[in-house]
Amino acid sequence: MSEQHTTRPPLPPFTRESAIEKVRLAEDGWNSRDPAKVVLAYSPETKWRNRAEFVTGRAECQAFLERKWKKELDYRLIKEMWAFTENVIAVRFAYEWHDDSGNWFRSYGNENWEFGPDGLMTRRYACINDLPIAEADRKYHWPLGRRPDDHPGLSDLGL
């Protein structure tokens, strides 16, 4: 995996508009379910806490995402900016997925992100809770990949 270090606009300091754009770009990346692509938005020395798992650096993050998307099938995610400062963004999110037995879940959570001046994320702290749902209760039905622009967001869906 390349440890290339480039800039990733929008760059801090964030405005409300650029923070919202940064969140949507992150959502789009994660909905690609392409671990090698997703980790390029993070600094080479990034630090994550995801639930009770701690990972450091792009290689560990990529391995984490590969494991994640082998377990969380038909993954679809919506993120929403909650708050921001110059180089920090707080996000709330919900995603839907099923396991290999066909059991559906909606996972809810919050993330705190910190960015370097190059726009790469240096720290990501995620707290996540999984709610079993019936397949009939799913709210995310777009084709796998990027959420369509006209699909409701979290607040619109009452989540």
What pLDDT, in 10s, does the model give residues 24-70?
999 999 999 999 999 999 999 999 999 999 999 999 999 999 999 99
Q: Alpha-carbon distance 84 to 59, whole Å?
A: 28
Antiparallel, parallel or unpaired: β 104-115 and 121-133:
antiparallel
How do the domains of the chain map onto residue ranges? 16-137
Please name the fold of domain 16-137: Nuclear Transport Factor 2; Chain: A, (3.10.450)
pLDDT tens-digit series, residues 19-29? 999 999 999 99
- Confidence band for 78, pLDDT divided at 50, 70 and 90: very high
Asked whether residue 90 carries a pLDDT value surpassing 70, the answer given is: yes
Q: How would you list the strands of the sheet with 104-115, edge to edge? A: 53-56, 42-50, 121-133, 104-115, 88-98, 73-84
Residues 6 or more apart in contact with residue 37 via CB below 8 angstroms: 29
pLDDT for 4: 55
pLDDT for 1: 41
pLDDT for 2: 45
Q: 107: which 2 tokens?
A: 């996972």
User: Quick one: average pLDDT of 84-103?
Assistant: 98
Say what the pTM is: 0.95
User: Quick one: average pLDDT of 76-96?
Assistant: 98
